[in-house]
Amino acid sequence: MATLVAAAAAGLWMSGTPLSGMAQQVAHHARTAYDAAGLRVERAGWDTLRARPQFAKRTSLGAARTATPARATVRVFGANYDTLYAGPADRPIPIPDRRLGDREPLLVEACGTFRRGGATRTLCQQTSVRASPKRVRVEQADVTFPDEGDFRKGRYELRLRTERRAFTERRAFETTRAAGDTARWEPLPGATPESVLLARAESPSGQAAVRVPVDSSGRGTFDLARYEGYDDFRYHLRAAMEQPRRLTVREGAPPPSATVAFEVRAGPGVAPLRPVERFQKTVRRLTPAERRRRVQGFAQSAARAIARRLHEDRDDEEERADEWAETVTRATVTGWRYDRAAERYTMDLRVRWHETDDRDERDRIDGTLTVEEGSRRARFAGERGNRRTVERWREAVESDEIELGPLAEPDTSASLPVVERRGRLPGVAERRGGPRGSSRDDGRGPDSDDP
């Protein structure tokens, strides 16, 4: 009986010899089961790996044996569950290590599909490995701040290099820190690290930072006012530059200054960004002389824009272009102020221009020029002028103001006539329908500086 049962369990019997009822029942219950028996990952470098899944076949009456699936596949996922590879398991698997983070964890999943009769069963097993240890080195880090006297704007030029530790089988998964200074690092061409620039202002009452994204080229400009945290940054920067009221500033003493700390944070791939470079910039307010030179530059740039605008409405375009090419423009500032809270210049401006071959016949317009410090956007409100200029204004301008747009950055080396007045600016005349003009020439001559 025992021999018959064993033969039935093994599925062996002599041809033509029927099994007894007991033997048929034993053979029916000797079912086959498949198990995942392990997943081994082999690596010969950071850019490839081999997955070696193992499966076993078991029966209820026998020992486990190695089983080969009808189909075996492998998938590799990154830390964000991005699929890095999906395909057969019987070949080397490419790993895009250069775009992965520092020791980024990778999930390797191997699946085997078994078929028995009309049934199909798939078994999967997983294990984890890591990408290469990486670091970011700074080759160049230059920041210009403030840019052209504007405490909101700056420029940067960063050159960063990503390196990874050389692969060795024995130390492949050791941490960078454990490897210490003896680890050998190699450049990783084509790897672009993620990076940001942190600008921090500190005052006795606290501190605030603005996070500036860095362009992938490593070069760019920034406007701190566009990013979160600028209002607090501005508050602490101004507080740091305030002179104590109990102190008297000596004549000729340097203007108040403050320190802005910059920090470059970078990391490869999805790794957390870590500080890789720190430096400080000492910033100060512009001196009165520097403000004066900016006013001079803005005035001259605005004068050219105003004169050109009043030439745009002439009928003969060719004649207008020739006339403009021979035009000499002069700007005179008779009063100005700078609103620190609004970051705006306001100045009383007289603009005169004439053709080089007709010095005795000049156009003249007086008005108020306002210029935003940051954007350099300017607006001129005409108030009065000689008869010819008023007629040109009415032909070319439909209102009493001209939008000049952004002015050119002032050339502080230029020397223009500026007359400063203490106290409040002269009152702005009521403007209706453009600047006022006389019905006749006032007889004061084209060079008169009187209103």
Residue 451 lies in a domain: no
348 and 279 housed in the same domain: no
Asked whether residue 217 falls in the same domain as residue 227, the answer is yes
Domain with 68 in it: what CATH number? 2.60.40
Tokens of 128: 């984890």
Same domain, 378 and 364: yes
Domain membership of residue 248 (yes or no) is no
Same domain for 332 and 417, yes or no, is: yes
Q: Does the pLDDT of residue 235 top 50, yes or no?
A: yes
Asked, for residue 249, whether it belongs to a domain, the answer is no
Residue type, 272: P
Q: For residue 446, tell me if it sits in a domain.
A: no
pLDDT interval class at 289 (50, 70, 90): confident
Taking the C-alpha atoms of residue 308 and residue 320, their distance in angstroms, rounded to an integer, is: 10
Task: Pick the last residue of a domain from 108, 130, 152.
Answer: 130
* Domain assignment present for 112: yes
* Element holding 300 (H helix, E strand): helix 288-309
* Dist. CA 422–CA 411, nearest whole Å: 25
- On whether residue 369 sits in a domain, the answer given is yes
Cα–Cα nearest to 268, from 353, 344, 176: 176
Residue 448 forms part of a structural domain:
no
Percent of the chain with pLDDT over 90: 37
- Residues 391, 271 share a domain: no
**Which pLDDT value is given to residue 33?**
84
Do residues 325 and 373 both lie within one domain?
yes
Instruction: Give yes or no: residues 146 and 114 share one domain.
Output: no
Question: Which two structure tokens, joined as six digits, stand for 384?
Answer: 């009065």
pTM for this model (two decimals): 0.58
Q: Quick one: angle between helices 2-9 and 21-29, nearest 10?
A: 40
Yes or no: say if 62 and 104 are a contact pair by the CB < 8 Å rule: no
Residues 25 and 38 in one domain: no
Q: By the 8 A CB rule, do 239 and 203 touch?
A: yes
Among residues 98, 130, 162, which one ends one of the domains?
A: 130
Q: How far is residue 314's CA from residue 395's CA, in Å, rounded to a whole number?
A: 9
- Same domain? 335 vs 265: no
The pLDDT tens digits for 302-345 are 998 988 888 765 555 555 444 545 567 889 999 999 987 788 99
Q: Examine the fold and report which residue of 81, 103, 130 is the final residue of a domain before the chain moves on.
A: 130
Q: Are residues 231 and 267 in the same domain?
A: yes
Residue of 380, 381, 371 whose CA lies nearest to 406: 371
Radius of gyration of the chain from its Cα atoms, rounded to whole angstroms: 40
Q: Is a pLDDT exceeding 90 seen at residue 21?
A: no
What pLDDT shows up at residue 77? 96
Question: Which long-range CB contacts under 8 A does 423-431 form with residues at least 24 apart?
Answer: 425/335, 425/336, 425/337, 425/346, 425/348, 425/368, 426/334, 426/335, 426/348, 428/368, 428/381, 428/383, 429/383, 429/384, 431/381, 431/382, 431/383, 431/400
163-205 pLDDT, tens digit per residue, is 999 987 445 445 444 444 567 899 988 888 889 999 999 988 8
57 and 173 belong to one structural domain:
no
**Residue 50 sits in which domain range?**
31-130
Compute φ and ψ for 130, nearest 5 degrees.
-130, 150
Residue 450 located in a structural domain:
no
Residue 151 and residue 171 share a domain: yes
Residues forming a β-bridge with 187:
163
The arithmetic mean of pLDDT across residues 213-234, rounded, is: 93
The tally of domains found in the chain comes to 4
Of 37, 42, 169, the residue nearest 93 (C-alpha): 42
Alpha-carbon distance values, 243 to 240, 246, 251, 254 (Å): 8, 8, 14, 11
